[in-house]
Amino acid sequence: MSRLNEPRLVCLLPAGDATGYGPVFEEQPVDTIYPEESPEAKITMNCRARANPPATYKWRLDSRDIDMDADDHYSFVGGNLVISNPVKNKHVGMYSCVATNDYGAIISREASVQFGYLDFFSSEERQSVRVKEGQGAVLLCAPPPHYPAELSFRWMLNEFPIFIQLDKRRFVSQTTGNLYISKVDASDSGNYSCFVSSPSISKSVFSKFIPLVPLAERPIKKYPADLKVTFPDTTALVGQNITLECFALGNPIPVIRWRKLDGQLPSTHELGMSGAHLHLNNVQFEDAGTYQCEAMNSKGKDYHSARVSVEAYPEWVDHINSTEKAIDSDYTMSCVASGKPKPYVRWLKNGTVYDKKEMKFTGLTFEDSGMYQCIAENHHGVIYANAELRVIACAPTFEHNPVKRVLGAKNSRVVIKCQPKAAPKPSFSWSKGTELLSNSTRMFIWEDGSLEILNVTLADEGRYTCFAKNDRGKANSTGSLSITEATKITLAPSNADVTVGESARMQCAASHDSSLDITFIWSLDGHVIDLHKDRQHYERTPNGSSNGELLIKNTQLKHAGRYSCTAQTPLDNVTASAQLVVRGPPGPPGGLRVTDITDKSVRLQWSCGADNHSPISKYTIQYRDSFSKDVWKDATTSPEVIEGNVETATVVDLFPWTEYEFRVIATNTLGTGDPSTPSAEVLTLEAVPVVAPSDISGGGGTSRELTITWTPVQPQYYSGPNFGYIVAFKPHDGSEWWRVTVADPEARRYVHKNASISPSTEFEVKVKAFNSKGEGPFSHTAIIYSAQDAPSEAPTRVEGKALSATEAIVWWLPISHSHVDGYQVKYWKKQDDSEGGAHRVAVPGKGNHTRLEGMKPDSHYLIEIRAYNAAGYGPPSPHFQIYTKKAPPSQPPRIIGKKLKGHLVNIAWEHVEPLWNESSIDGYKVLLRQQGHSTGMLYTTSRRTIDLPVPREGDFVVEVRATSEGGDGAVAQIHITGNSHNPSCTLVA
């Protein structure tokens, strides 16, 4: 017979084998991903079990024992398995550890070993993406082969490590890695690279750059919302965090909204990535349902719905525990697991499959001892429960658990326990003193040996002996029973009635045996009150040890109910109760339904909530719409005042074709209650627009144009789909109106071009809105004027002169016969292209001169001037020529002397020789300024020396530079420290 089957398990006696036990795992292997490029070149799978005698270990790969001698990659460190220089096609699989000692064997959870990798992107060049401005763009990532599946994605712009910032216009799918731009603009031009990271193996790679080329288009077109990123039907596990993705292309940038079609969004939900991510945190079964994302802009909407199912990893409801059982007794092992799908449960004994369907043992034997495991499994995972069953046999013994001294309160129930160690189970008998006891109406011997005595009196005091006997022997143990006075309530709590915010007192006092400690426990509707946790509202008033009065502060509606005071000693307890009524504002109405929906009204029905002991006097209806989701507003209703006995009302003055939610709030004399749960969203019916555009104006523009402008109608006034504008206009003296349709609801101008329109012609204009139901009213008629002609004359008598090597001044004779808004001065080097390299200066109004800057030294410039107005530019003036001066000296003066003369300091420098392309020297400028200041005293001289006053205090700088007709040259500096006793000078290169 093997040692595993020997009947070693005996009664736990000092002389017996009482200290041994089977293996209990303290550390088990975990799933491991080994990076293919890992420098460590080994995998360690941990396994450690507590056992006496110590356990031995072996490992299995895919349910087969590993032969350590046949593969030198394997080695042991304690119970841990080390795989050196692992090979992918040999060492990938499911590993488990078996721990064994004399009492049995257990097998660990299975843990996978997989090789992780992330290949490089293809070296092929990526094609450029060319998109019109205003259109959406999708840049494909196409990540390379990898394991595991979890990756994170970012996109680089032009170079590493410049990553694009994501916002409501730009989105990176964490499912595909693709970059989505809802509407492209000129600033998106650049080269993009998909940056992929695998957190499991700490590796990142990036793709070849993809050029994105926005194509200019004027005017930029508008496009309806178009969902390009959607989420599939998804299965989540209970407790898991999941993210649903939705993103749309469109111009204007679409807004993303989420809803749960069969209920409210979970309270734990969060939105991320400007609404493109819906995070469902700590998912529960009730979160299952159909989720919808809606993308919306002024040009249209798009929807997507998918199902979120919730399943669960196996979890123990009841599982086995180590136990000792008497030989020949019956025993049932139970393992119950929850999960979705329902887990399948199987059993192991000593690490091998145990084929019993029901773990019921009848007449246990020593062979039933061992290590048992139940394993619950569904396709989400596996859980293990381990236990040792120890079958024992021994005569009764009270050595570790004798019968004890017991106290009992008068008239109470007393139980004296008898719990010897014995196997098989013994028979029991009791005696009081020398009197043998038997079952009666007051005394009963339980099956487990305990003696129960009802309604005890002082006569029941004495010594009690329990006798235990089985086929291995017998034993007895004696204890005693003492009787104390019973506990009684002497001051019971009384019913009370308070208003929310007031305080209430619940009295309670009791008498008890002076030898016993007493405590008071308060409960509300059967639930014990935690005085420390809810100390904001509950307080025990100190008034002696036998008084348990409870103070309820700032009473709220939740504090109403039945209060019970229990006076409790170690031996008995007694309870008294009273009712607390709390009057307050009403509870929220329920069952809110919306019916009879029209374009401007809906009918609401509800059921009243709790009045909280004060009749409801009125109801208030509130709404929020799709344009102000975070703001609830009071609705206009019919009847205007909704009495408290009414449970239906009509909401009026709503906007057509608008999504609304409603809620109802009840009020009584004590205040206003909490609002009802919001209704489901409803959409009012469409109607003809009733609001016309405002601020009708216009004028200006280029020649032969009539520009009409207006302030667009706000979206809440669209009243239906296909919203736009009808623009009507006619000459002031005409009779026939011209009508033009503008389909863009956000448009704010229309330009009518007609070669026959005379400049500055007076027009009457008006604008109205339309939708799929019809046309609304016209706006007020406004008077505007067509565009002027561009100036027809060129400025004359253009003159100018160079001021330095880089600046000039130019002036001209203004135009007097045309309407002019200003002049444009254009200047360029003669040898350069007049358009490509030209500088332009705008001179608004009636100005007739300007300064030209940023010119090149010693250069020949051409200058032309045009008048302009709103219609455009007039003809250019004849070209005027200016020659800039040669550059100023580039070399600073070399300071050669500095000498103190009393309160003067003499500074001397060498003459500066200009280069061949520099202006001749006219003299020198000397600036004396305080350190840190930009201005000071400026001196000019034609000499190469100067006397300057020495400052009394502070640090000063002397700057010397040559001056010429081309400007001032480079600077030389020295520092002077002011000191009336000892001034000093420092040369600064």
Instruction: Reduce the secondary structure of 210-228 to three states and give it as a string.
Output: EEEEEECCCCCCCEEEEEE
Q: What is the pLDDT of residue 955?
A: 84
Nearest residue to 897 (alpha-carbon basis) of 844, 960, 954: 960
Say which range, 30-39, 361-370, 660-669, 980-989, has the weakest mean pLDDT. Answer: 980-989
Lowest mean pLDDT among 112-121, 156-165, 246-255, 424-433: 156-165
**Contact 101/133 with Cβ under 8 angstroms?**
no
Per-residue confidence (pLDDT) for residue 357, from 0 to 100 = 65
In this predicted structure, the answer to whether residue 542 has a pLDDT above a threshold of 80 is: no
- The CA distance from 4 to 55, in Å, is 13
Task: Report pLDDT for 869.
Answer: 82
- Which of 6-10, 784-788, 805-809, 843-847 shows the lowest per-residue confidence on average (mean pLDDT)? 6-10
Peptide bond just before 29 cis, omega within 30 deg? no
- Please count the residues of the chain: 989
pLDDT tens string 499-520: 999 999 999 999 998 888 999 9
Classify 450 as helix, strand or coil. Answer: coil
Average pLDDT for 482-486 = 91
Fold that domain 394-484 belongs to in CATH: Immunoglobulin-like (2.60.40)
- Asked whether the predicted pLDDT for residue 756 surpasses 90, the reply is no
Average pLDDT over residues 526-537: 93
Answer whether residue 465 shows pLDDT above 80.
yes
Answer whether residue 15 shows pLDDT above 70: no
Instruction: Read off the pLDDT of each residue in 60-72 and give the average, rounded to a whole number.
Output: 92
| Strand-pair partners of 291 | 260, 306
| Phi, then psi, of 716 in degrees rounded to 5 | -65, -10
CA nearest to 83, candidates 108, 111, 54: 111
DSSP string over 608-665 = ----TTS-EEEEEEEEEETT-TT--EEPEEESSSEETT--EEEEESPPTT-EEEEEEE
Determine how many CB atoms are found less than 10 A away from the CB of residue 211: 14
Residue % of the chain over a pLDDT of 70 = 96
47: confidence class by pLDDT, cuts 50, 70, 90: very high
Read off the pLDDT of residues 828-886 as tens digits, 9 standing for 90 and up: 988 765 666 788 899 998 889 999 998 999 999 999 999 988 778 889 999 999 999 99
Q: Is the pLDDT of residue 405 over 70?
A: yes
DSSP 932: T
CB atoms within 10 A of CB 617: 16
Architecture of domain 3-116: Sandwich (2.60)
Q: What angle is formed at CA 585 by the lines to CA 583 and CA 589, rounded to 5 degrees?
A: 120
Question: Superfamily assignment of 224-312 in CATH?
Answer: Immunoglobulins (2.60.40.10)
Alpha helices in 266-395 (DSSP H): none
What is the band of 982 on the pLDDT scale with cuts at 50, 70, 90? Answer: low
pLDDT at 834: 60
- CATH 2.60.40.10 residue ranges of the chain are 3-116, 129-138+157-221, 224-312, 313-392, 394-484, 489-583, 590-683, 694-784, 796-883, 895-988
Q: Which two tokens stand for residue 130?
A: 């060319």
pLDDT, average across residues 203-219: 91
Average pLDDT, the chain: 91
Residue 894: strand pairing partners? none
Residues 6+ apart with CB under 8 A from 378: 313, 314, 339, 340, 341, 342, 343, 344
pLDDT exceeds 80 at position 358? no
Token couple for 447: 């099956």
Q: Residue 17: which pLDDT band, with cuts at 50, 70 and 90?
A: low
Residue 19, SS3 per DSSP: coil
CATH superfamily, region 694-784: Immunoglobulins (2.60.40.10)
927 and 974 Cβ atoms separated by less than 8 Å: no
Run of H or E residues at 963: strand 953-964
CATH code: domain 489-583 is 2.60.40.10
Instruction: For residues 841 and 854, give the distance between their C-alpha atoms in angstroms, rounded to a whole number.
Output: 12
For the stretch 312-348, what's the b/e string if a residue is b when 16 or more beta carbons lie within 10 angstroms of its beta carbon?
Answer: bbbebeebbeeeebbbeeebebebebebbeebebebb
Phi, psi (degrees; rounded to nearest 5) at 404: -105, 165
pLDDT reported for residue 4: 38
Q: In sequence order, what are the residues at sequence separation of 6 or more whose Cβ sits closer than 8 angstroms to the Cβ of residue 474? A: 395, 396, 426, 467, 468
Check whether 959 has a pLDDT greater than 80.
yes
Cα–Cα distances in angstroms (integers) from residue 197 to residues 116, 183, 490, in the given order: 12, 27, 74
Of residues 820 and 206, more confidence is placed in 206
Tokens describing residue 502: 């007031």
Determine which of 387-396, 444-453, 953-962 has the lowest per-residue pLDDT on average: 953-962
Q: How confident is the model at residue 6 (pLDDT cuts 50, 70, 90)?
A: very low
Residue 899 φ/ψ, nearest 5 degrees: -140, 135
DSSP letter, residue 693: -
**Cα gap 655→657, rounded to integer Å:** 7
For residue 987, what pLDDT is reported? 42
Q: Return the bridge partners of 368, or none.
A: none
Summarize pLDDT for 622-661 with one digit per residue, the tens: 999 988 888 999 999 999 999 999 999 999 999 999 999 9
Average pLDDT value for residue range 44-65: 95
Please report the pLDDT score of residue 787 as a whole number: 84
Beta bridge partners of 119: none
CATH code, 590-683: 2.60.40.10
Tokens 């750059």 correspond to what residue? 209
Distances (CA, A) of 534 to 501, 528, 547, 559, 878: 16, 11, 20, 11, 92
Q: Which residue has the tokens 């205007």?
A: 640
Average pLDDT for 426-434: 94
- Correct CATH for 129-138+157-221 of 2.60.40.10, 3.40.50.170, 3.40.50.720, 3.40.50.1440: 2.60.40.10
List, as one string, the DSSP characters of 270-332. Answer: EEEGGGTEEEE-S--GGG-EEEEEEEEETTEEEEEEEEEEEEEEEEEEE----EEEETT--EE
Dist. CA 853–CA 722, nearest whole Å: 53
Q: What is the CATH number of domain 796-883?
A: 2.60.40.10
CA-CA distance, 508 to 496, in Å (whole number)?
A: 14
- The structure tokens listed for 573 are 């307890």
Task: Count other C-beta atoms under 10 Å from residue 913's C-beta.
Answer: 10
pLDDT digits (tens, 9 = 90+) for 126-152: 999 999 999 999 999 999 999 999 999
Give the pLDDT confidence of 316-355 residue by residue, as tens digits.
Answer: 999 999 999 999 899 999 999 999 999 999 999 999 998 7
CATH superfamily for domain 895-988: Immunoglobulins (2.60.40.10)
Residue 954 has a pLDDT of 80
Residue of 958, 941, 953 whose CA lies nearest to 905: 958
From residue 391, how far is each of 104, 331, 364, 386, 428 by CA, in Å?
13, 11, 7, 17, 22
Q: Residue 273: phi, psi to the nearest 5? A: 50, 50
User: What pLDDT is recorded for position 833?
Assistant: 59
- Interval 602-625: pLDDT, tens: 999 999 999 999 999 999 999 999
Please state the φ and ψ torsions of residue 228, each to the nearest 5 degrees: -110, -20
Residue range 313-392, CATH number = 2.60.40.10
Confidence check: pLDDT of 10 > 80 = no
